[in-house]
Amino acid sequence: MNETARPIRSRRWAPAIRAVAVTAALAVAGAGIGPAAVPARAQTAGRAMPIIRDTEIENLLRDYASPILHAAGLAKQNVKVVIVNDRAFNAFVMDGKHIFINAGALFDAKTPNEVIGVIAHETGHLAGGHLMRMREEMSRAQTASIVAMLLGVGAAVAGAKAGAGGEVGAAALTAPQSMIMRSLLAYVRTQEDQADHAGVKFLTETHQSPKGMMELFKRLAGESLFNSRYADPYLQTHPMPADRVATLEKIAHASPYFDQKDSPALQHRHDMMRAKLAGFLERPDTVARRFPASDQSLPARYARAISAYRHSDLRGALTQIDSLIQSEPSNPYFYELKGQALLEGARPADAVAPLRKAAQITRDAPLISVMLAQASLESKSKDAGRTVVGLLQNASTRDPEVPGMYRMLAQAYASEKDYAHADLASAQDAAEKGDIATARQLAARAKTSLPVGSPAWVRADDITNLKSPKSTARN
Ligand SMILES: [Zn+2]
């Protein structure tokens, strides 16, 4: 697990740190429904949530999610599936725009259908407006708990007057709170049932089987029986009592698509994803055990090649990656892997060609373009500045959330002696990191040299108007 601290990781795996705090609301609810009650923006003070960014996995998850989102009437909402770098089984929604899935859940799911089932269930929460309703319920509960507290204080005063001491008050204080908690839990149960029903409906509408979702939930319910102390976080937000599972089984078996299988092509992409996650996140001995050298399948070779570049010698890894490329010369992610291995092995000039190939096949996938930009920048070829600016500008319009992109863009502009745009990019970098004061300062400086009213000037102007999180939190 110490790999997490290696600077290598910060290039692409888990670099986009988003902060998530455990809130007072979570403590009130007890059952982990907190995330629903918390707007993602307001959580800058707490624990960090490490995110994995990867073109291959993100594309696969988008292919899993988009038919479901379409069936749910959410196609236009631009909902993204975000991978959380966490080995525990979990999936959740926090706002209307993202479905979060832990790497652990992707790892556990043997078939695409299981992950699609989880996405269908979470989409059920989104489509049902559960986040909004839970927020209302929570604020009601908080009001109720304030009332309960006042009642408790009242009772304590009354008790003191009656000569019974403070104990009566304490009892009066806890009783209503546990009632509130029970009613909130009942509310969560209702939402879970609704999300199950909606999930099965979306799966049926897209001619997919609810079997994966059913089996996964049955498995989790079994775990919660025997292992309640160490249960997966998913179970805390998704209580899985026997009757819920029984209901799910009944509606799942009623589906005309119950026996529908995932296509072999999709299963292969799924296996490649799991192999990739293993290669990047597992210890080398675990990878060697799960994918012994006798296993010559593409996923096994993929996992071993990744593990080799992460943990042993670059030359051995490159041989393995080249053999993967030979097996599938049009697979962009093998070139991407080669480029990444070379880049992180301090051979940026050699990384340019394979990354260029990966970018070409993926039609300039933003994450790959940014890695190519980095290789160009580090190899200091003569026209590096111009190439890099173009790549990064294109990437930033398609995906403004690629980690480290603005810092690199600033560097590229500076190498061209375009200091106004360099300042603007640095301002965007600071804003992304939450350093609003620095962002505003840099943007103000950029504005003085940019043509008034130009798109860059407007962006700089927007940043100078940003409010620091402290002042908004107080409002
Ligand atoms: Zn749920």
Residue found by looking up tokens 């580090």 in the block: 378
pLDDT digits (tens, 9 = 90+) for 416-470: 899 999 999 999 999 988 899 999 999 999 999 999 999 999 999 999 998 876 5
Ligand 1 centroid – CA 115 distance (Å) = 14
Structure tokens at 174: 């806890």
Q: Are strands 98-102 and 91-93 parallel, antiparallel or unpaired?
A: antiparallel
In the predicted model, what is the mean pLDDT of residues 336-347?
96
**9-43 per-position pLDDT tens digit:** 333 443 233 322 222 222 222 222 223 222 233 23
pLDDT recorded at residue 217:
87
- State the distance from the centre of ligand 1 to the C-alpha of 125, rounded, in angstroms: 7
Q: Is it the case that residue 239 has pLDDT exceeding 80?
A: no
Residue 49 CA to ligand 1 centre (angstroms): 20
Q: How many angstroms separate the CA atoms of 311 and 441, rounded?
A: 42
CA of 439 to the centre of ligand 1 (A): 38
Over residues 80-84, the mean pLDDT reads: 94
- Compute, in angstroms, the gap from residue 191 CA to the centroid of ligand 1: 7
CA 185 / ligand 1 centre spacing (Å): 12
Which range (123-132, 167-176, 282-291) has the least confidence?
Answer: 167-176
Distance 91 CA to ligand 1 centre (A): 8
Q: What is the pLDDT of residues 147-165, one digit of tens each?
A: 665 555 555 544 454 444 4
At residue 84 the predicted structure's pLDDT band, cuts being 50, 70 and 90, is very high
The pLDDT score that the predictor gives to residue 151 is 57
Distance separating alpha carbons of residues 44 and 29, to the nearest angstrom: 21
The Å distance, Cα 199 to ligand 1 centre, comes to 10
CB crowding 288-300: b at 16 or more within 10 Å, else e: eebbeeeeeebbb
From ligand 1's centre to the CA of 197, what distance in Å?
A: 11
Distance CA 428, CA 406 (A): 6
> Cα separation of 110 and 262, whole Å?
11
pLDDT greater than 80 at residue 87: yes
What is the 134 CA–ligand 1 centroid distance (Å)? 12
Centre of ligand 1 to C-alpha 1, Å, is: 29
pTM for this entry? 0.80
- Which one, of 100, 95, 98, lies nearest residue 84 by Cα? 100
**Considering only 183-187, 290-294, 447-451, which range has the smallest mean pLDDT?**
183-187
Secondary structure of the chain as H, E, C letters: CHHHHCCCHHHHCCCEEEEECCCHHHHHHCCCCHHHHCCHHHCCCCEEEEEECCHHHHHHHHHHHHHHHHHCCCHHHCCEEEEECCCCCCEEECCCCEEEEEHHHHHHCCCHHHHHHHHHHHHHHHHCCHHHHHHHHHHHHHHHHHHHHHHHHHHHHHHHHHCCCCHHHHHHHHHHHHHHHHHHHHHHHHHHHHHHHHHHHHHHHCCCCCHHHHHHHHHHHHHHHHCHHHCCHHHHHCCCCHHHHHHHHHHHHCCCCCCCCCCHHHHHHHHHHHHHHHHHHCCHHHHHHHCCCCCCCHHHHHHHHHHHHHHCCHHHHHHHHHHHHHHCCCCHHHHHHHHHHHHHCCCHHHHHHHHHHHHHHCCCCHHHHHHHHHHHHHHCCCCHHHHHHHHHHHHHHHCCCCCCHHHHHHHHHHHCCCHHHHHHHHHHHHHHCCCHHHHHHHHHHHHHHCCCCCHHHHHHHHHHCCCCHHHHHHC
Using the mean position of ligand 1's atoms as its centre, give its distance from the Cα of residue 237 in Å.
7
Give 298 Cα–ligand 1 centroid separation in angstroms: 34
Phi, psi of 384 (to 5 degrees): -55, -45
Query: How confident is the model at residue 187, as a pLDDT?
Result: 75
Residue 128 CA to ligand 1 centre (angstroms): 11
Highest mean pLDDT, choosing among 92-101, 173-182, 356-365, 376-385? 356-365
How many angstroms does the Cα of residue 39 sit away from the middle of ligand 1? 18
Task: Give the model confidence (pLDDT) of 112-142 as tens digits.
Answer: 999 999 999 999 999 988 877 777 777 776 6
Give the pLDDT of residue 7.
Answer: 30
For 19, the token pair is 């902060």
Cα of 425 from ligand 1 centre, angstroms: 40
C-alpha of residue 238 to centroid of ligand 1, in Å: 5
